[in-house]
Amino acid sequence: MYKNIRQLTRIYAFHNELSRMTKRYAGHSKWANIRHIKGLKDAERANYFLKLSRQMKVAIQEGGSVDPAANSKLSNLIDQARRASMPAATIQSILKGSQTDKKPYKRLLLEIKGPGSCLMLCEIFSDNPHLTKQGIATILRKNGGKYIENITSLFTEKGIIEAEVKSSEEMSKVLEKATDDAIEAGAEDVTDVDNNILQFLCGSSNLKAVTTELEAKGYNILSSSIEYLPLKYQTLNEKDMETYLKLHEKLESVPEVVRIINNIEVE
């Protein structure tokens, strides 16, 4: 059972690439395969850093400051970048670049109806929103999606913290302790999302405080971010899911796209 669409998307992409890689490197040395796999991981890491840099620029524009102490959203993103091992020089370059870049960027949250009537929010950060929206409209038209209105209220912003726990105890006991720790830290809920990986839910305004408290309690924080969560989920059949994954991949390739949120439930 897959716990979330992000996990399913990674698995889908991995199997596709693994199939291509097997054909491409048949008969090559083991080192050639290892080097190619490393190249894929490096590309995935670079793409993740690109997404984080865009989100930092959005946070700077909306928060009006490049000082993390005065911009909580930016502070959260910088913490997230550091946990992902983004070089300090890269982070500083993003902050300095945001001060000198005078293009009139705008942040927009595009509302989309996707395959199987799923709902999507696509956040963009562009100096030409009209042109970006036109390009995305073409992608939607070719991949089972279209623009709609008034669905943002069907999502809520929450802080999401993923933490690794190393314990020989049964997960039920781990969750019992984590629940107590979550209450003390100010989180609203905690769930088991994978082997030894817990997901804490909290308000978007106290994400940093909860993250700091969980770290102090010994949790290894893997990620900490503010996300849109659907108030109601939509299930998709296999065909619609395949169409959605292709649409998601196309949208991710658009440079102005910062993140994509959906209400898909994966059982």
Per-residue confidence (pLDDT) for residue 29, from 0 to 100 = 41
User: Which pTM was predicted?
Assistant: 0.68
Rounded-to-integer distance, Cα 36 and Cα 83, Å: 25
Name the fold adopted by 106-154+232-262.
Answer: Alpha-Beta Plaits (3.30.70)
Q: What CA dihedral angle connects 107, 199, 229 and 108, to 10 degrees?
A: 10
27: number of CA atoms within 13 Å, CB side?
Answer: 2
Per-residue confidence (pLDDT) for residue 42, from 0 to 100 = 60
Closest CA to 72 of 226, 200, 187, 208: 208
Rounded-to-integer distance, Cα 130 and Cα 142, Å: 19
| Per-residue pLDDT of the chain in tens (267 residues, 90 and over written 9) | 344 445 454 444 434 443 333 333 333 343 344 443 444 456 677 777 887 888 888 888 878 888 988 888 888 889 888 888 899 999 999 898 887 777 778 889 999 999 999 999 999 988 899 999 999 999 999 999 999 999 999 999 999 999 988 777 788 888 999 999 999 999 999 998 877 889 999 999 899 899 999 999 999 988 888 889 999 999 999 999 999 999 999 998 898 898 899 999 876
Name the fold adopted by 5-100.
Answer: Arc Repressor Mutant, subunit A (1.10.10)
Give me the residue spans of the domains in the chain.
Answer: 5-100, 106-154+232-262, 155-230
Question: Which architecture does CATH list for 155-230?
Answer: 2-Layer Sandwich (3.30)
Rounded-to-integer distance, Cα 148 and Cα 113, Å: 6
Indicate if 155-230 has the same CATH topology as 106-154+232-262.
yes
The token pair at 15 is 């199997």
DSSP assigned state of 196: T
